Structure 1
Amino acid sequence: MAGVRARGEEIRRYILDHVEKSPGDVTKATAERFGITRQAVNKHFRRLQADGVLRRSGNTRASVYRLAPQSQWSHACEIEPGLAEDVVWRRDVRAVLGDLPNNVLEIWHYGFTEMFNNAIDHSDGSLIGLQIKKTVATTEMLISDDGYGIFRKVQAAMGLLDERHSILELSKGKLTTDPTRHTGEGIFFTSRMFDLFDILSGNVYFSHKFADAQDWILEPARTSSGTSVWMKLNNHTARTAKRIFDEFSSEDDYEFSKTVVPARMAQYGEDKLISRSQARRLLARVELFKTVLFDFSEVETIGRAFADEIFRVFALQHPDIELLPIHANSETRRMIARAQHGSQGQ
């Protein structure tokens, strides 16, 4: 009997972990995973619904299950002298998150304090709103302010082309408009710790998914004032903050020495990556790192001048920096190899 109970718990845990990833076919996936019938899977769904863990929408044939919120909390903080992220964490947020594993709480501690402090120091706003929603499987947090907007502020401070260009720079890390108080590491590491990390500000929506090579830039239907940061994390993830720090740090001195540069963010519309100017835009500030991974996901091809500027000209000027292309198709790899072998003239 104990074995049957344990198997049932395993099936229900699988459902809870996967229902939000693929709500339309989780029944089929569960049946195949455990070698049981769809009818047997539906019994587990009904039990989870009776326990208040899942909610069902739609009719019988097209019903969809989603995780039911177990708790929801919201709070507003006026941005005024004395407001401190560690106090808000200790006084309010930590208690709302509740009983979570230490590694999960460590990630939330880092992500919340970094993003909340950004709103205090950089938003030029008057109010910060907090929202937290918990289910049995995941926790979501929204931090929003009524300030100037992070992408617009970076664009103005650095004289960039537009708000999309701000995301390219933020995605590299080590970018801050206030170097006396910030290292520029917060958004980079936070975006890589959480299952989902989104920023909505002005005319741009940025999204990063853990273990996904791609960052998404979208233009929403309407402009958003201020900045909204949304983070989501599985309550039982085995991930640790240290693992993420180590992935992008030197082994000897723990320096933030490695970054990933999404090449597709230098594209605008249907433009191809062909010019030296586009390459120089991609190369901005990468001399701050020892290892630079150029991610060519969703890049169909690159031009000779573009490849030459990065993998020959810049490489010769910075022999101490390791430049590594990743997720490049065969055509892109061929152009990079040509540049590395010095075939393209100046």
Structure 2
Amino acid sequence: MVGIRKRGEDIRQFILNNVEHNPKDIVALTSRAYDISRQAVNKHIKRLVEKNALLERGATRNKRYILHPLVKWEHIYTLNGTLAEDAVWRGDISEFINDLPDNVIDIWHYGFTEILNNAIDHSSGTQVHIQITKTATTTEIVIYDDGEGIFKKIQRELELSDERHSVLELAKGKLTTDPDNHTGEGIFFSSRMFDDFAILSGSVCFSHKHDQVEDWILERQKFQSGTGVFMVLFNNTARTPKSVFDKFTSGDDYGFTKTVVPVRLTQYGHDNLVSRSQAKRLLAGVEKFETVIFDFDNVETIGQAFADEIFRVFKLQQPDMELIYLNSNEQVTQMITRALSRE
């Protein structure tokens, strides 16, 4: 009897985990996955609808299912110099999170307070809008401020070429426009803790998904004022803040010593990575780390000067630094190998 009950729980959890991306064919998908009839699947779905875990939309052949929001909450706060991220967490946010596992609460506590603090200290806005949507499988929190915009601010204060360059610097970690009060690590670690993390500002969107090594820059034609940060986390994830810190730190003091640099973010439009100036843009700030991993995913080709500047010239300047490359195709690997052979 216990085995039957456990199988039923597994089937219902499968439905919940997959319905978001398969709202119309979740019955067929579940039927194939567990080798059961569509009628049996429909019984499990009916139970989830009755428990308010799923919502049913449409009828007969147009029927689809979506996750039922267990929590839908939003509030606008005034950025008047007195707002404190820990007070907002304790007073308003934690009550929606406190029924989740301790490790999940810890991730939300870290990520929420880091991102809200950035809006309070750096946005130069007048208000911040916070939204929470919680379902049976995930929780999403959106924090939006009406300030200058994070990428535009970084571009202006660091005198960068454009907002895309701001995203590249942010992706490396340790970037801050206020070094006396901030380490610049909060956004980097927050982006690695969540299953889906995105920052939308101006005409640029920075995105990181937990199951992918690389970061993404997406450009929009429509301009977005202020800064919107979107964080999504599975309610039953086994991830912990410590497990994320351990990937990029070393020693008992948790020194932030390692970073992954998505090389693709250096490309503007259809430009190929061929010049030393492009390589120097990629290398800016990485001397703060002991280990730098260059991720060449989705980079089709690089030039000799680009490879030489990173893997010979820079390496000679930083002999104690460990430089690692991954996800390189045959052409890119050949260029890197040629540069290394000239050390």
TM-score scaled to structure 1, two decimals? Answer: 0.95
Give the Cα separation in 1 of the matches to 2:237 and 2:35.
25
Distance in 2, matches of 1:336 and 1:43, equals: 57
> 1-side partners of 2:251 and 2:324: how far apart?
18
After superposition, give the CA deviation of every residue in 1:207-257 in whole Å (9 maximum; x if it has no partner). 111121232211223111110101000111000000000100013541000
Q: 1:22 to 1:300 in 2, by over 3 A?
A: farther
Once the two structures are superposed, the pairs formed by residues 171-250 of structure 1 within 5 Å of their partners are 171-250=171-250
Which residues in structure 2 correspond to 1:1-346 (within 5 Å)?
1-23=1-23, 25-342=25-342
Deviates more, 1:248-257 or 1:183-192: 248-257
Q: Deviations over 1:26-55 (max 9, x none)?
A: 444433332223332232222212322112
Separation of aligned partners in 2, 1:38 and 1:238 = 31
Q: Amino acid of the residue matched to residue 16 of structure 2?
A: L
Q: Deviations over 1:292-336 (max 9, x none)?
A: 111111111111111111011101110111111111112211111
Mapped to 1, the partners of 2:215 and 2:39 lie a distance apart of 39
> Residue 333 of structure 1: SS of its match in structure 2?
helix
Rate the CA distance shift 1:279–1:26 in 2: closer, same or farther, 3 A. farther
| Alignment deviations for residues 137-178 of structure 1 (CA, whole Å, 9 cap, x no partner) | 110001011100000000001111111110000000000011
Aligned 8 A contact 1:73 1:96 in 2:
no
Quick one: which amino acid aligns to residue 317 of structure 1?
Answer: Q
**Unpaired runs of 5+ in structure 1?**
none
> How far apart, CA to CA, are the structure 1 residues paired with 2:193 and 2:158?
27
1:59 CA drift (Å): 4.7
Q: Distance in 2 between matches of 1:212 and 1:278?
A: 24
Q: Distance in 2 between matches of 1:218 and 1:60?
A: 38
Distance 1:259 1:25 in 2: 40
Aligned counterparts of 1:252 and 1:135: Cα–Cα separation in 2: 37
Once residues 203 and 291 of structure 1 are traced to their aligned partners in structure 2, the CA distance between those partners, rounded to angstroms, is 32
Secondary structure (helix, strand or coil) at the match of 2:152 reads helix
Amino acid at match of 2:119: A
How far 1:197 sits from its partner (Å)? 0.5
Q: Deviations over 1:109-148 (max 9, x none)?
A: 0000000000000000111111101111110001011100
C-alpha displacement of 1:73: 0.8
Q: Which amino acid is 1:14 matched to?
A: F
SS in structure 2 opposite 1:274? coil
Please say which of residues 56-65 and 255-264 is displaced more in the overlay.
Answer: 56-65
Inter-partner Cα distance in structure 2 for 1:197 and 1:75: 21
* TM-score for the superposition, normalised by structure 2: 0.96
Distance 1:260 1:22, change over 3 A: farther
Q: Post-superposition shift, 1:182? A: 0.3
Whole-Å separation in 2 of the counterparts to 1:27 and 1:338: 54
Q: For structure 1, which segment, 230-239 or 88-97, has the greater mean C-alpha deviation from structure 2 after superposition?
A: 88-97
Structure 2: which amino acid aligns with 1:229? Answer: V
Aligned letter for 2:79?
I
- Note the C-alpha offset of 1:25: 4.8
Q: Does the 8 A contact of 1:192 with 1:210 survive in 2?
A: yes
Change over 3 Å in CA distance of 1:249–1:223 after alignment to 2 = same
Count residues with an aligned counterpart.
343
- 3-state SS, counterpart of residue 220 of structure 1: strand
Runs ≥4 residues deviating over 4 A:
none
Contact 1:76–1:127 (8 Å) recurs in 2 = yes
Range that drifts further, 111-120 or 209-218: 209-218
Can you list the C-alpha shifts for 1:171-198, whole angstroms capped at 9, x where unaligned?
Answer: 0000001111100001100000000001
What percent identity do the matched residue pairs reach? 58
| Residue range with higher mean Cα deviation, 302-311 or 47-56 | 47-56
Aligned equivalents of 1:328, 1:289: Cα separation in 2: 22
Q: Secondary structure at the match of 1:81?
A: coil
Conserved? CA contact 2:98–2:105, under 8 Å? no
> Which one is further off, 217-226 or 264-273?
217-226
Alpha-carbon distance in 2 for matches of 1:242, 1:316 = 34
CA distance in 2, matches of 1:268, 1:48: 47
